[in-house]
Amino acid sequence: MIRFAVLGCGRIGRMHARNLARHPRAELISVFDIAAKAAADTAAELGVTAAATVEDVLADSRVQAVLIATSTDTHVPLIIAAAKAGKAVLCEKPIDLDLKRAEACGAQIAPLKTTVMIGFNRRFDPSFRAVREKVLAGEIGTLEQLIITSRDPSPPPIAYVKVSGGIFRDMTIHDFDLARYMAGDIESVYATGGCLVDPEIGAAGDIDVAMVVLRAKSGALIHINNSRRCAYGYDQRVEAFGATGMLQAQNRFATSVQHWSKAGTGTRDTAQPFFIERYAEAYAAEIDHFVESVLTGHTPMSDFSDGVAALKLAEAAGESLRSGKAVSLG
């Protein structure tokens, strides 16, 4: 049994708090948010304490692990404070908006030897995991191509876009991690993109459609498709193509019903609305894995170094977008 506190009770923090509250090997002790109402509402819903300050959370000797789901620019100071207080840390992606700051954080916490995991939930999706296992088992021969499609149903609020660090750090970061998870280390990145969805995103200095081509050290080629808008729901698919076959992980739907009529055949629901629904099992499995890692002392599957590696790819993609050239990672 691991006793938790949750920092940040926004969209994803509240979902994690609910998952922890019902987890058989976790106990949720407290939640904290600088927006007192968000913490109070979550605490009241789950019957736990709304802490008054982050210091109160970290000074509570009952709390063994902290789940950080605050805005990205607060992750680094909170990771450091929690690790220094001897707490295990599960932190949402990305580690930070700046690679150097993330690397400095890693150097500071390394001697503390606490468990730190980054919330790359897609690694815990049963279908993506199965694709990886089959690739590793040689079921499609040598992996030659990987195509990752990730399209959000609609753009986030412009206020979020402005502090998100840009599409590569905020959104593609998941795909960069998935690419590494399935194809191993990456040696080069080429990115192109534009603003086809919302001119306000362009005015905020960001892009809302992107295509990225990665070359893995193994020689495999990876193509990532991103859009901030998708008319038919949250589009999340993976295709792995190898010397002797292909594996596809398709979209998930609310039901398995198909409708056949004069209007069309085999029509079904739109894809799942967004991440909370699409990755419900993955978020639960992520918590399982973190609890298991803390209890056994094993390094988690998506540790701090994976968070840094994904951020490195995001920065390289930004550089490639600006220069129009592929960026070699050496």
Ligand X SMILES: NC(=O)c1ccc[n+]([C@@H]2O[C@H](COP(=O)([O-])OP(=O)(O)OC[C@H]3O[C@@H](n4cnc5c(N)ncnc54)[C@H](O)[C@@H]3O)[C@@H](O)[C@H]2O)c1
The residue ranges that bind ligand X (CB under 6 A) are 7-13, 32-35, 38, 54, 69-72, 74, 92-93, 119, 121, 275
CA distance 281 to 19: 10
- When CB distances to ligand X are compared, the closest residue is 10
Instruction: Give the position of tokens 């979902």.
Output: 15
| CB of residue 322 to ligand X, shortest distance in Å | 23
Whichever of 10 and 202 has its CB closer to ligand X, that residue is 10
Select 69 or 183, whichever has its Cβ closest to ligand X.
69
Residue type, 85: A
* Alpha-carbon gap, residue 314 to 165, rounded angstroms: 10
Question: Which residue number, 147 or 276, has a Cβ lying nearer to ligand X?
Answer: 276
Largest CA distance in the chain: 66
Q: In what order do the strands lie in the sheet with 327-328?
A: 245-249, 235-242, 143-151, 221-227, 209-216, 186-194, 327-328
Closest approach of ligand X to the CB of residue 3, in Å: 19
We find the least distance from the C-beta atom of residue 260 to ligand X, in angstroms, to be 35
Q: What minimum distance in Å lies between the beta carbon of 39 and ligand X?
A: 8
Q: Which of 259, 271, 267 is nearest to 235 (CA)?
A: 271
DSSP state letter for 289: H
Asked, as a colleague might, if the bond just before 157 is cis with ω within 30 of 0, I would say: no
- Of 13 and 300, the one with the shorter C-beta distance to ligand X is 13
| C-beta of 8 vs 233, nearer to ligand X | 8
* 190 vs 234, beta carbon nearer ligand X: 234
Q: How far is the CB of 96 from ligand X (least distance, A)?
A: 9
Between helix 126-136 and helix 172-183 the angle, nearest 10°, is: 30
Please identify, using beta-carbon distances, which residue of 157 and 297 lies nearer to ligand X: 157
Cβ 44 to ligand X, closest distance in Å? 15
Strands 209-216 and 186-194: antiparallel
Q: Which helix (H) or strand (E) holds 11?
A: helix 11-21
In the chain, DSSP assigns E strands to 2-7, 26-32, 49-50, 65-68, 88-92, 116-119, 143-151, 186-194, 209-216, 221-227, 235-242, 245-249, 259-261, 264-267, 327-328
Minimum Å gap between C-beta 129 and ligand X is: 16
Please, what is the minimum distance in Å from the beta carbon of residue 110 to ligand X?
22
CB closer to ligand X out of 185 and 277: 277
